[in-house]
Amino acid sequence: MTLVMGILNVTPDSFSDGGAYLDTEAAIGHARGMLAAGASIIDVGGESTRPGSARVGVAEELERVIPIVHALAGDGIAVSVDTMRAEVASAALDAGARIINDVSGGQADPDMLGVVARSGADFVLMHWRDHSERFQDTASYDDVVFDVSHELIAQRDKAIDAGIARERIILDPGLGFSKTWDHNWTLLRHLAQFQKLGHRVLVGASRKAFLGELLGGREPLGRDGATAAVSFWAAQVGVWAVRTHDVAGQSDAIAVARRLALESPF
């Protein structure tokens, strides 16, 4: 069954919900609301990766993330931490996180793969070419499905060589990161190819700009219906999880996909 990973951004500048959950109690309350709506995992992030965003200091990222991870994990909640920094990953794992979700796939910090390997945690390895202030300059491919798959597997091999068990690795094609709008649609159309790479697959389409473009320039908060359609598609393909701001809507879409899959053909 496709799981729902609820996004908990504790940042002032994330593209959709920046500033909404900077207060620790508000963040914890939102996480509990997402769990009640159907989330299986809460993904906590203290650094925005929206296009053009500047990086925050490590001390600030730690201050934003670790108290929330500690509180949620202390209640037995499955917590993922969205970070590119090994120091933050290490502290989050010590606080009880079970998954490190690194949008750079271990490329931004040379110590990341070793930290994850020593912990035995799951590792989301996303397709990535550069930091957010520059990544749209690298959105060039001969064949986007082949190239993204090839680059993911090359980084996957480095993760395995670093000691991360194969079964702990989750692949993410990186929608919106060094991709044009058309690239994103092509990757979604060929999700089944990523399922064949031998790992769980995570899809993160929530409220992204390519959905806004499809909908005539609609703002992020108006993109949840389109996100649910992507989640329905991802669930039909059988991906491991979708990462989303709108847990209830995606849970409903996945429930419909699951129910339809139970029907026998006429």
What is the number of helices (H) and of strands (E) in the chain?
10, 8
**Rounded to whole angstroms, how far apart are CA atoms 232 and 162?**
35
Tokens at 67, concatenated: 């108290």
* Best CA proximity match to 210, nearest among 161, 174, 257: 174
Phi, psi of 218 (to 5 degrees): -60, 145
Q: Could you tell me if 3 and 37 are in contact, meaning their C-beta atoms sit under 8 angstroms apart?
A: no
Burial class of residue 264 in the structure, from the number of CB atoms within 10 Å of its CB (0-12 exposed, 13-18 middle, 19+ buried): exposed
Active site residues: 208, 243
Rounded CA-CA distance 177/15 in Å is 14
The single-letter code of the amino acid at 103 is V
